[in-house]
């Protein structure tokens, strides 16, 4: 039996899909990239914006025909939209076999076992089947849920309050991923740097993960500005295995909007924080999330966002059109017409894309250590994706010179050893010596 997974939404969902995949594999199923070969179809949904939910629902609708083509096929719907709309889903799509909301992902193992309908006494059943994940860059979930209540956001409702995994569990997961071939670990949580367990805080966890044998690179997502403490910054700056790149959502450059969104920092505090991090880690990349068209956002507020993007020169940014989520505090506020939101989205994208292009262009001719992930694709420590020309194998770390930066994915050629000092720009001065 084979299963196919379709994932919508953020990295948290990708990590959840990986975890559910491991449970299915432990039940004897193999993963396939071809839906026609699959007996189990898993759709992991997102509800952060209406658009993501709509796409998942039309996909589920199409699965009625997929299921009817072969007897015994199963459809499983999981994730945030499943949590929010469980009853609606069961009514509208009665052919769905199992709905598992985001709050119950950790119970998926038991649920999957029942779904697949194999007895525990079955002699074929081998719970010790190791996962066959062989990715070079892997996610490890360190916490679930969110204790914030940003007024636009549905996440705390569908994922619940924060629950932290223990340090032992996390280090165990990291070791498992390394054993399977991972070299880069990204720690995941909605406000990942608010992590606490017993006496341990996020900085302790970062240090412990970076010390695991076989881990060459550590990243984390999504951090919250409030928890980017001096200790976390110092740990990032001093631990060579932690990459000098951060995706730190700001949401708006207007203090009025930040207050209306219930983000507990000001523009000035965020700008100061960005300066402190760049000072501690010269050459680090900084990226962000921004929402445009939040209810009440005046042209002046919007201009503040544009000016902050110019001031901070983000290396890249995701710009989201505000989407009303029922049940959130902002859902009671009057919404802007879609045309205005679209227009601001376009204007914001133009500024972000121009700056990102300027920054990428400056990389041409510089040299970087990249970790090969798959099929000639690698990543710099600063988190740029690079297409490599040459013969390379996943898991290898090599030095490349950037030859082209027209597109979001850079192009690079392998350096053959004739490296001179100008090829060592400041951006990766903390290269970890290889044993
Ligand atoms: N926990 C992270 C944080 O606080 O920065 C973000 C998690 S959220 C899944 C990812 C991004 O989606 C947010 O940073 C925000 O920009 C965007 N987002 C969340 N709710 C939204 C909404 N109702 N409309 C538009 N964008 C939204
Ligand atoms: Fe949503 Fe805010 Fe929690 Fe992030 S911190 S998941 S934006 S409520």
Tell me, in angstroms, the distance from the centre of ligand 2 to residue 322's CA.
14
Residue closest via CA to ligand 1's atom 5 equals: 249
Span from the CA of 148 to the centroid of ligand 2 (angstroms): 6
Taking a C-beta distance cutoff of 8 angstroms, is the pair 294, 266 a contact? no
Looking at 211-337, list the stretches that DSSP marks H as alpha helix, in order from N- to C-terminal side.
230-238, 255-260, 267-280, 299-312
Q: How far is the CA of 291 from the centre of ligand 2 (A)?
A: 12
Per-residue pLDDT reduced to its tens digit, 122-169: 333 333 333 345 689 999 999 999 999 999 999 999 999 999 999 999
Q: What is the mean pLDDT of residues 266-273?
A: 98
CA distance 151 to 129: 44
CA-closest residue to ligand 2 atom 1:
153
Report how far ligand 2's centroid is from the alpha carbon of 279 (Å): 27
- What mean pLDDT is predicted for residues 286-298? 98
Q: Which two tokens stand for residue 141?
A: 């979930």
- What is the DSSP pairing of strand 40-45 with strand 74-79? parallel
DSSP state letter for 315 = S
Give the number of C-alpha atoms closer than 13 A to the C-alpha of residue 427, restricted to the C-beta side: 22
Reported confidence tier of residue 49, pLDDT bands at 50, 70, 90? very high
Ligand 1 atom nearest residue 222's Cα: 2
What's the longest Cα–Cα distance across the chain? 68
Under 8 Å between Cβ of 10 and 320? no
> For residues 37 and 4, what is the distance between their CA atoms, to the nearest angstrom?
8
Closest ligand 2 atom to residue 48 Cα is: 1
Cα dihedral 103, 106, 108, 110 in deg (nearest 10): -130
Nearest CA to ligand 2 atom 4: 190
Pocket lining: 156 vs ligand 2, CB cutoff 6 Å: yes
By alpha-carbon position, which residue is closest to atom 8 of ligand 1? Answer: 48
Q: Identify the band that residue 115 occupies on the pLDDT scale cut at 50, 70 and 90.
A: confident
pLDDT of residue 408: 81
Q: How far is CA 264 from the centre of its chain?
A: 22
Instruction: Write the pLDDT tens digit of every residue in 361-400.
Output: 999 999 999 999 988 899 999 999 999 988 888 999 999 9
The per-residue pLDDT for range 401-418, each reduced to its tens digit, is 999 998 788 999 998 654
Tell me the best of 52, 145, 146 to mutate to test the pocket of ligand 2, counting ligand atoms within 8 Å of each CB and taking the most.
146
First-to-last C-alpha distance (Å) of the chain: 42
Q: What is the pLDDT of residue 136?
A: 95
Q: Which of 161, 189, 265, 320 is the pocket-test mutation for ligand 1 (most atoms within 8 Å of CB)? A: 320
What does pTM read for this prediction?
Answer: 0.89
Q: Residue 28 in contact with residue 124, Cβ under 8 Å?
A: yes
Q: Name all residues whose Cβ lies below 6 A of ligand 1.
A: 10, 48-49, 152-153, 155, 190-191, 222, 224, 249, 251, 289, 291, 320, 322-323, 325
CA trace torsion 306, 310, 315, 317 (10° rounding): 0
Distance 161 CA to ligand 1 centre (A): 16
Judge if the beta carbon of residue 99 lies within 6 A of ligand 2. no
150 C-alpha to ligand 2 centroid (Å): 6
Rounded to a whole number of angstroms, the CA Rg of the chain reads 23
Three-state DSSP class for residue 382: coil
Express as a percent the part of the chain with pLDDT over 90.
Answer: 84
Look at residues 91, 77, 102, 95 and name the one whose alpha carbon lies nearest to residue 157. 102
CA atoms of 319 and 289, how far apart (whole Å): 6
26 or 253: which leads in pLDDT: 253
Question: Which numbered atom of ligand 1 lies nearest the CA of 248?
Answer: 5
From 108, 122, 121, select the one nearest 79 (Cα to Cα).
108
| pLDDT of amino acid 427 | 47
């Amino acid at each position: 039996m084979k299963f196919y997974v379709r994932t919508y939404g953020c990295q948290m969902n990708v990590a959840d899909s990986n975890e559910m995949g491991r449970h299915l594999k432990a039940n004897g199923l193999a993963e396939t990239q071809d839906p026609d070969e699959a007996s189990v179809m898993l759709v992991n949904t997102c509800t952060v914006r209406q658009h993501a939910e709509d796409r998942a629902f039309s996909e589920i609708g199409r699965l009625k025909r997929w299921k009817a083509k072969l007897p015994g096929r199963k459809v499983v719907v999981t994730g945030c939209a499943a949590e929010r709309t469980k009853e609606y889903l069961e009514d509208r799509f009665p052919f769905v076999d199992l709905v598992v909301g985001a709050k119950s992902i950790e119970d998926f193992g038991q649920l999957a076992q029942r779904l697949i309908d194999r007895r525990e006494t079955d002699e074929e059943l081998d719970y010790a089947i190791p996962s066959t994940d062989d990715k070079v860059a892997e996610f490890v979930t360190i916490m679930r849920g969110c204790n914030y209540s940003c007024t636009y956001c549905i996440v705390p409702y569908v994922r619940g309050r924060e629950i932290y995994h223990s340090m032992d569990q996390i280090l165990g997961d990291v070791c498992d991923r390394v054993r399977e071939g991972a070299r880069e670990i990204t720690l995941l949580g909605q406000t990942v740097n608010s992590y606490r367990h017993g006496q341990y805080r996020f900085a302790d966890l970062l240090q412990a993960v970076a010390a695991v044998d076989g881990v060459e690179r550590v990243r984390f997502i999504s951090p919250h500005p409030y928890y980017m403490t001096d200790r976390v910054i110092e740990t990032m700056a001093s631990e060579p295995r932690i990459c000098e790149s951060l995706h730190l959502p700001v949401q708006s450059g207007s203090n009025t909007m930040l207050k209306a969104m219930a983000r507990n920092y000001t523009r000035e505090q965020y700008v100061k924080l960005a300066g402190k991090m760049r000072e501690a880690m010269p050459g680090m990349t900084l990226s962000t999330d921004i929402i445009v068209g939040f209810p009440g956002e005046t042209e002046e507020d919007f201009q503040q966002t544009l000016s902050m993007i110019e001031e901070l020169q983000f290396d890249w940014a995701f710009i989201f059109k505000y989407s009303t989520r029922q049940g959130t505090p902002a859902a009671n506020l009057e919404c802007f017409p879609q045309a205005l939101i679209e227009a601001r989205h376009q204007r914001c994208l133009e500024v972000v894309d121009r700056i990102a292009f300027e920054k990428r262009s400056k990389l041409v001719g510089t040299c970087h250590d990249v970790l090969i992930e798959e099929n000639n694709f690698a990543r710099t420590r600063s988190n740029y994706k690079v297409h490599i020309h040459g013969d390379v194998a996943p898991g290898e770390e090599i030095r490349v010179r950037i030859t082209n930066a027209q597109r979001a994915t850079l192009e690079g050629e392998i350096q053959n050893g004739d490296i001179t000092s100008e090829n060592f720009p400041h951006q990766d001065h903390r290269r970890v010596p290889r044993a």
